[in-house]
Structure 1
């Protein structure tokens, strides 16, 4: 995908997310209480970008942010280390991502109807974060 396509698709991915609701959950949970650089909304944007570009691991994601001005503008930061990404992965409660997923599924069902939504969501692949580090 070229940069223009990425920007357009990225905006379409972000658009259905109700940022106010997500921010309220973040505030209630106190997730970003002492965060200076990688807040939860930037994290969500970054991993949406990583999914679009099919980036394989945290090191590649980190390099992509450091090297590409487009990515920096999309996610709102100019660099991030793979260790910071790893820490943020562990820090975010899975309940928040579950709520976001359910919210988006409801929007798809409302927009497409039950039958079409079922077919569209049948192609959905979940990435599960293990509860403990794999060795």
Structure 2
């Protein structure tokens, strides 16, 4: 008789590489490694270097004038961490036609992504399941 073991999400190893994703409409998403690299802040300020096309996030106290709160999507602070960047992306004309993910690096106290790098196009599981639902409806 097989001795089955139930797989839980907590058994999967955490990604150690820090990533930042700019989603459609400009929302920024940090994985747990990126959040930890910043010192696990409750809020960040959004920075942009126009000449170098680098997006930066710097940890700030939640009550700071330019603070954007980070929200954990996984509950109980497991990530990913979301920050509203729609106005930021529009103001700096950052392409948000598709969601893209970049490897992030810490420069001084700023988590940086280089938009001159192509980034990896990411798709949501929802769009795949929604297209499957609509294809089933036409049957």
Q: Shorter-chain TM-score: what band? A: under 0.3
* Structure with greater contact order relative to length (CA < 8 Å, sep ≥ 6): 2
More helix by share: 1
Which protein is bigger by CA-based radius of gyration?
A: 2
TM-score by length of 1: 0.25
More strand by share: 2
